[in-house]
Amino acid sequence: MPKRIRDMPEEYLTTQELLAREIGARIRAKRDKLKLTQEQLRTRLEFEQIIITRTQYSRIEKGKTLPNAAQIIALRTIFGVSADWLLTGEEHRSP
């Protein structure tokens, strides 16, 4: 574990772990709903100029790591959902 992570307050680490698990679960559920394999989704990510290894992608779905901003943008395009939904599970609509 990088030193910068080890030095973070426990509450921050707990929140980050929970967030990673929730986002990963939403990504996996949406991929499953679209009947895509991880490899098929990774290929679609490449079309969006996102190169991600099998291991990196698996870690995101398992909630071991958070996707970065570019990955979120590509996933929202592929899935046809908002970034809000990927990050929070809620659709935020303008009034």
- Tens-level pLDDT at each residue, the chain (95 residues): 455 666 778 888 888 899 999 999 999 999 999 999 999 999 999 999 999 999 999 999 999 999 999 999 999 999 999 999 999 998 765 44
Contacts of residue 81, defined as CB under 8 A and 6 or more positions apart, other chains included, come to: 30, 91
pTM: 0.84
Range of the domain at 73: 3-78
pLDDT at residue 1, as a whole number: 43
Number of structural domains in the chain? 1
Q: Are 84 and 91 in contact (CB under 8 A)?
A: yes
CATH number for the domain spanning 32: value is 1.10.260
- State both tokens at 81: 């959902």
**Residue 90, in any domain of the structure:** no
**Residue 83, in any domain of the structure:** no
pLDDT at residue 61, as a whole number: 96
**Residue 87, in any domain of the structure:** no
